[in-house]
């Protein structure tokens, strides 16, 4: 197992043409690989505009099987560049059943498997419950590039249970492909608080689980459809990598595409998990109530 590894995050704008988005994603992967990255992660649903801003049955035509055409192309690229690739895709499982899915492509073994997003949001311009069934594969880890990684997606990043259950399977790095941003109507009054909360909760996952956290967002403004109550979403970029002590090792800009390549010292994970022994001191005998929706008498 390597003591250090470089990971790459491809922060990108996404347009209306899936083929062009894939071409630009591949260019970002190549750039990250040229800088020495061994694992490269793309943003959530990178092949398309963020179509979940409203309910439109035509958008289901954007979905594809996983594994399928995109994973085949990226698996070939992974083999060529000798990098692992993490790709978030709109999965068509069967007629009428769709998921928000992350595929893992290994340079030697090709398609390793997938994770289906467990937590599905439903907010203004984030109407994902219309499109995606909740994941049914559980929280997953994959061994690739000599590292054990955990794969989660966007709204999952707010839930400490998801990070913990993934880390308890030995994940050394948690990856969160993301599509999150500001509603322009709220940015002046709430934008700084919203972004700070998003970053802080994930830095906390790094601390409480003694692992690295790598978050890759999209950037740019995507308008809402005509007649919507809001203008659209300005994705706030700012992809970042946090160390096991919560330190931000690198952060991308707000309004620009960027390829971050960050070297991770895996040897410090044992030290942090030993000196901050959260795994040791967990009271697993006292947590059964976490399986209840709320602690009242209505159960």
Rounded to whole angstroms, the Cα distance separating 234 from 180 reads 8
117 as an active site residue: the answer is yes
The whole-angstrom distance between residue 139's C-alpha and the CA centroid of its chain comes to 13
Q: What 3-state DSSP class applies to 81? A: helix
Q: Is 44 a catalytic residue?
A: yes
C-alpha 255/C-alpha 101 separation (Å) is: 26
Question: Which residue among 114, 154, 199, 211 is the active-site one?
Answer: 154
CA nearest neighbour of 46 among 235, 194, 241, 225: 235
Choosing from 6, 41, 44, 222, the catalytic residue is: 44
Q: Where are the beta strands (DSSP E) in the chain?
A: 4-11, 39-41, 84-94, 97-106, 110-116, 122-123, 126-127, 141-144, 147-151, 173-177, 181-182, 212-216, 219-223, 232-236, 240-242, 248-251, 258-265
How would you classify the pairing of strands 212-216 and 173-177?
parallel
What is residue 6's three-state secondary structure?
strand
For this structure, is 41 an active site residue? no
From 53, 92, 114, 117, the catalytic residue: 117
Give the list of residues 6+ apart from residue 296 with CB closer than 8 angstroms, or none.
none
Catalytic residue numbers?
44, 117, 154
């Amino acid at each position: 197992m390597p003591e250090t590894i470089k990971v790459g995050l491809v922060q990108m704008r996404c347009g209306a043409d899936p083929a062009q988005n894939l071409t630009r994603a591949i260019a970002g992967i190549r750039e990250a690989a040229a800088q020495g990255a061994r694992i490269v992660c793309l943003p959530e649903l990178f092949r398309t505009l963020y179509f979940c801003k409203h309910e439109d049955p035509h958008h289901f035509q954007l979905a594809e099987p996983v594994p399928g055409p995109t994973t085949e192309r990226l698996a070939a690229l992974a083999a060529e560049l000798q990098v692992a690739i993490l790709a978030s895709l709109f999965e068509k499982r069967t007629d009428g059943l769709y998921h928000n899915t992350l595929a893992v492509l290994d340079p030697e073994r090709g398609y390793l498997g997938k994770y289906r997003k467990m937590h599905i949001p439903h907010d203004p311009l984030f109407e994902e419950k219309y499109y995606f069934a909740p994941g049914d594969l559980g929280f997953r880890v994959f061994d690739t590039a000599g590292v054990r990684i955990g794969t989660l997606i966007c709204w999952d990043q707010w839930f400490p249970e998801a990070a913990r259950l993934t880390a308890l399977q030995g994940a050394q790095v948690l990856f969160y492909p993301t599509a999150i941003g500001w509603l322009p109507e709220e940015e002046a009054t709430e934008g700084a608080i919203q972004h700070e909360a998003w970053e802080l909760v994930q830095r906390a996952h790094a601390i409480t689980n003694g692992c690295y956290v790598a978050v890759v967002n999209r950037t740019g403004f995507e308008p809402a459809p005509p007649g919507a109550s809001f203008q659209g979403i300005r994705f706030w970029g700012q992809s970042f990598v946090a160390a096991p002590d919560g330190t931000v090792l690198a952060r991308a800009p707000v309004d620009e595409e960027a390829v971050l390549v960050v070297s991770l010292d895996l040897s410090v994970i044992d030290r942090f998990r030993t000196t901050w022994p959260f795994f040791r001191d967990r009271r697993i005998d006292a947590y059964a109530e976490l399986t209840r929706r709320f602690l009242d008498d209505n159960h």
